[in-house]
Every structure is written in C-alpha cells, then in structure tokens.
C-alpha cells in the first residue's frame, strides 16, 4: 500500500469523517468557509434532526463551529470551518487529487 | 468502500456548491436589475457631463460583478483542490452584456443609429450564447432564468424598434427588464434560503 493511500485511509478511518454527508459538508465548507444552517438544510434536503446530528459530530471533533448570529431576516445558525477542519481537508484534497492523477 | 465514500462526498459537496452558485446568480440578477434606475438617476443629476454617466455607473457595477464571480471561482478551486483554467469565465460572460448596452446608449446619445443597431444585434447574439452556456454549466436553468434572458432580449429589440420608428417609449422599455430581473433574484434566493 502506498504512503498516500495509507494517509488517505487514516483520514477516512476517523469516525466523524467516515460518512459521505459529513465529509461532503466539510469539503464544501473548505471552499465556502461558512454557510448557514437553513441554506444547508434546503440544499441537502435531509431531515433537520439528522443534519443537526451530522453537524454536532463534526463540531465535537473540532472540525467546525456553530454560532447563532443576527441577520436582517432574523437569527440564523452559521457553520464555520475551523483551522483543524481546513488542515484535514487540505490533506484530503491533496491526496485525492494525487491519486486521481496517478490513474 | 472508500472509493464510494469519496465519490458520494464529492457529489454532496458539489450539491452545496451548486446552491452557492445559485446565490451568486441571485446577487447578479439583483445587482443588474438596479442598473437602469441608477443610470437614469445619474442622467438626472449630472446634466453637465452626460457622457460620463455610463462609465461611472458601469465601473462600479462591473467591479462588483467581477468580485462575486471571482469569489465563487475561488470556492470551486478550493473544493476541487486544483487550479482551474478559465477561472474568470463567468465574470467575463456576465459582464459582457455591458458592451451592447454601451453601444446602444452611445448610439442613442450621439445619434448614431447604426451603432444602436449593431449593439442590438450583438446583444441578442450574446444573450443566446449566454443562455446556451449557462444551460450547459452546472446551473439548473429555471423558468425565471429564461424570463430574465427573454426580457433582456425584448428590451434590446424594443429599443431598436423605438429608435427606428421614433416611438417615445424608450424609458418605459427598461421596466419589464428590471422587474423580471428583480423577480429572478427573489426566486433564486428562495431556491436556497428559507426560514429556520
């Protein structure tokens, strides 16, 4: 097994990232930096409770942080990626791209 | 299994990014829907140097236009993890409409009907090209996008007709365009945003 593949397996073996919804959200946040909860809910079209659970798992691992902010249309929950989240996604993107180039 | 996880997560990330693209388009519609009104106000205020009004209004609008689309391009670049070619493609495509509009306005102001006609033809060709390009991109094309394209083309045609037949309805022709673009902005926002 190559070093890159081993590193990628290590990232994906993290229980909080071993789920396509959580990994997808974190990957999108790596690009967007932040997004609000209602926007994410509408785009993903999954039950509110399961989205909240996914986000809680990511927050507990320190990949994201959630905060309530007041906006022109009322209070909204914002989800932001942390430095730890950015670092893991930087490595993940690099490894996935390296491996797809090798193919 | 890991391959499925990588593929599915990328699809989910792309879905979220697609939502962000719709928000960018909403900002674009809202931005340009106000352009005729701002231009009209400038022509009322600045009567001494009217030729400066269009460049003044346009520079501000183009700056913001480039900014929103370049911000979006950076987002896509980070998610894909690679530098994309044609990064500013949407900034350029979406800003191009200012050229036929400039030709029409200059043609009208300085009485060059052929410039107005050339601007109208350019505007129609450009609208059809932009429509074709956006339907091929990862934007889901909806009826309000089509409405925005149609009213833009209709506005250009109506300007041509008004100038040729000397019908004094030029200022009113901006109204359907502005209203439909405001509606397209509202519908685009509603597509991705709802109350908590």
What is the secondary structure of B74-108 as a DSSP string? HHHHHHHTSPPTTTTHHHHHHHTTHHHHHHHHHHH
| Tokens read off for B49 | 């140097």
Q: Do B5 and A20 touch (CB under 8 A)?
A: yes
- Evaluate if pTM is beyond 0.95: no
Say what the ipTM of the complex is. Answer: 0.88
Q: What is the mean pLDDT of residues A65-76?
A: 86
- Residue by residue, pLDDT tens for chain B (196 residues) are 667 888 899 889 988 988 888 888 899 899 989 988 888 898 889 888 877 887 888 888 888 878 887 888 778 777 776 555 555 666 677 677 778 777 877 777 777 778 877 887 887 887 777 777 766 665 678 899 889 888 888 887 787 777 767 777 666 778 898 999 999 999 998 888 765 5
Q: Which residue in B2, B13, B192 is closest to A39 by CB distance?
A: B192
Q: Which residue in A8, A28, A77 is closest to B16 by CB distance?
A: A28
Q: A94 at the B interface (CB within 8 A)? A: yes
- The pLDDT, as a whole number, for residue A27 is 92
Q: Which residue in A24, A31, A40 is closest to B9 by CB distance?
A: A24
User: pLDDT tens digit string along A14-34?
Assistant: 999 989 999 999 999 998 889
- The pLDDT, as a whole number, for residue B137 is 66
Strand-pairing partners, residue B174, are none
Is CATH 1.10.10.10 the classification given to domain A3-102?
Answer: yes
Residues of B in contact with A75 (CB under 8 A): 196
pLDDT score of A4 more than 70: yes
Task: Tell me the pLDDT band of A63, cut-offs 50, 70 and 90.
Answer: very high
Residues of A in contact with B72 (CB under 8 A): none
- The pLDDT, as a whole number, for residue B157 is 79
Exposed / middle / buried, residue A24 (Cβ in 10 Å: 0-12, 13-18, 19+): buried
Residue of A nearest to B19 (CA): A43
- The pLDDT, as a whole number, for residue B162 is 74
Give the three-class secondary structure for A40.
helix
Give the three-class secondary structure for B69.
helix
- The pLDDT, as a whole number, for residue A52 is 93
Q: A78 at the B interface (CB within 8 A)? A: no
Residue of A nearest to B80 (CA): A93
């Amino acid at each position: 097994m190559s070093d890159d593949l081993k590193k990628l397996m290590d990232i994906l073996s993290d229980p909080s990232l071993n789920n396509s919804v959580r990994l997808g959200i974190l990957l999108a946040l790596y690009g967007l930096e932040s997004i609000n909860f209602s926007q994410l809910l509408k785009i993903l079209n999954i039950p509110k409770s399961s989205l909240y659970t996914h986000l809680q798992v990511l927050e507990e691992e320190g990949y994201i942080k959630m905060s309530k902010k007041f906006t022109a249309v009322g209070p909204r929950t914002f989800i932001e990626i942390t430095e730890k989240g950015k670092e893991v996604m930087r490595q993940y993107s690099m490894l996935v791209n390296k491996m797809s180039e090798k193919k | 299994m890991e391959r499925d996880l990588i593929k599915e997560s990328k699809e989910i990330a792309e879905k979220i990014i697609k939502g962000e693209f719709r928000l960018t388009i909403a900002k674009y519609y809202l931005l340009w829907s106000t352009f005729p009104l701002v231009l009209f106000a400038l022509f009322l205020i600045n009567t001494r140097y009217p030729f400066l009004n269009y460049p003044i209004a346009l520079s501000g609008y183009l700056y913001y236009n480039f900014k929103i689309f370049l911000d979006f391009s950076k987002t896509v670049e980070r998610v894909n993890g690679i530098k994309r070619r044609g990064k500013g493609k949407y900034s350029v495509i979406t800003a191009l409409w200012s050229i036929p509009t400039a030709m029409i306005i200059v043609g009208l102001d300085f009485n060059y009907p052929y410039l107005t006609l050339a601007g109208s033809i350019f505007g129609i060709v450009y609208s059809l090209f932009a429509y074709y390009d956006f339907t091929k991109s990862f934007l889901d094309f909806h009826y309000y996008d089509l409405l925005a394209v149609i009213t833009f083309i209709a506005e250009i045609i109506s300007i041509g007709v008004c100038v040729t037949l000397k019908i004094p309805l030029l200022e009113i022709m901006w109204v359907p365009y502005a209203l439909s673009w405001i509606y397209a902005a509202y519908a685009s926002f509603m597509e991705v945003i709802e109350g908590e």
